[in-house]
Structure 1
Amino acid sequence: MTEADETYDPTRHPDLLAWLAEREGAHAAWAAQTSFADVLDFSPASLAILDDPIRETANSMEEITDRRMTPFVQGAIWYVGEVFCRHKGMVWKYIPDLVSGQLEPFFNAGAETSALDHPCVGAPGDPDSYVYPVNAIRRILLTEDEVGNKVDDSLPSIFADPFGEDDEEMDPSAGWG
């Protein structure tokens, strides 16, 4: 981990820029490996197409975390984030840990659990505005909240309300700012 200083630009982290270029270059091949490549047009409606394949890939939020380095999940993270960027005016960011101020190793494949080793998207110039695409993907696998209430999220519903404004309080460690 390294400390982010006051000159740190979360949109210019070298690992983030390399990952974005890699994901953009791999998108066509990633989409071609799915049965829905012809309808992945980066529209908000296209997010609904990913719900079922994600649910077929993993049964729990923890499984998505464990599989975050796989080609399918990496492609899904990038695609979801790109839809937010293109239609919500967001930008990709790699932000320091909210508590420690440290920058975790980018996509730290060796970490057992990793809450903030992956990029987020958020409003340009607003450090308190961020959504982690991997957590949006994880969230659609949640069937009930911590008090047992039924949860029925989808990627389109998260896109419609990315900051959970209908919720009274959001847990920052869940990736919503």
Structure 2
Amino acid sequence: MVLPVEEVARKAGTDHPELVAWLDRRVAAFPGWAAEVGAPERWDFGPDSLELLEEIVRGRFADGEEILAEKRSEFVQGAVWYIGEVVRRNARAMEWQYQPRGRFGELAGAMFSAAREGVLETPLVGQPGLREGGTLYPLGALNVLYSAAPGIPWADVGGCGAGSFRRAVRRMGRSG
């Protein structure tokens, strides 16, 4: 659904039409995604299930750039949705949102735009009403798996180790 720029700028957060359609598609696609990825019985939306996802992601991609290049693929779309759902279901007061503007206020374009290299044009989970903080871009979380930068929620001083998704979800559950 393509809306005029003014309409897109007003529709942000949980009621953005692209977000609603994407969430509907992801819910419908989840059983097939889980079966294709393997171990469908382990995808229970609990924080511990993120260890398996982390293992699978690390086995498929050499770095964050490969993930960004595949951000429109069924696997990455499913992983993004799954991470967001785990956070939404396990952290306090979290909801899916889509903010159709970039860091500097420019329109971000279509969700998961192939033309953009970052994660700002992708869905996020966040606490309602917070303008800063309390948010997580699941696609960004996938990229951070390959980061060694301290201070990033999923990064340890020596890079992300096993279970880093799980630790971050637990930290988010204590905040807010």
Q: Which residue identity lines up with residue 76 of structure 1 in the other structure? A: A
Decide which of 26, 46, 57 is 1:23's aligned counterpart: 26
Decide which of 143, 155, 168 is 1:158's aligned counterpart: 168
- Structure that is richer in helix per residue: 2
**More deviation, 91-100/64-73:** 91-100
8 A contact 2:119–2:139 mirrored in 1: no
| C-alpha distance after superposition, 1:97-125 (max 9, x if no partner) | 2312524221112x151331110000022
Decide which of 115, 119, 140 is 1:115's aligned counterpart: 119
**Alignment match, 2:149:** 145
Q: Which residue identity lines up with residue 135 of structure 2 in the other structure? A: Y
**More deviation, 45-54/22-31:** 45-54
CA drift at 1:8: 3.4
**Alignment match, 1:136:** 141
> Are 1:93 and 2:90 counterparts?
no
- Residue 135 of structure 2 aligns to a residue whose secondary structure is coil
- Normalised to the residue count of structure 2, the TM-score between the two structures is 0.81
8 A contact 2:34–2:43 mirrored in 1: yes
Runs of 5+ unmatched residues, structure 1: 166-177
Distance 1:92 1:15 in 2: 12
Decide which of 83, 88, 91 is 2:86's aligned counterpart: 83
- Normalised to the residue count of structure 1, the TM-score between the two structures is 0.80
> Are 1:102 and 2:112 counterparts?
no
> Are 1:42 and 2:50 counterparts?
no
- Residue 128 of structure 2 aligns to a residue whose secondary structure is coil
8 A contact 1:36–1:49 mirrored in 2: no
Identity score, percent? 31
Query: Runs of at least 4 residues of structure 1 off by over 3 A?
Result: 1-5
| C-alpha distance after superposition, 1:120-163 (max 9, x if no partner) | 00002223231100111111122x228xx522252112223359
> Are 1:67 and 2:70 counterparts?
yes
8 A contact 1:51–1:155 mirrored in 2: yes
Q: Which residue identity lines up with residue 65 of structure 1 in the other structure? A: L
Q: Which residue identity lines up with residue 103 of structure 2 in the other structure? A: L
Runs of 5+ unmatched residues, structure 2: 151-156
8 A contact 2:98–2:123 mirrored in 1: yes
| CA RMSD between the two structures | 2.3
Decide which of 128, 131, 138 is 1:127's aligned counterpart: 131
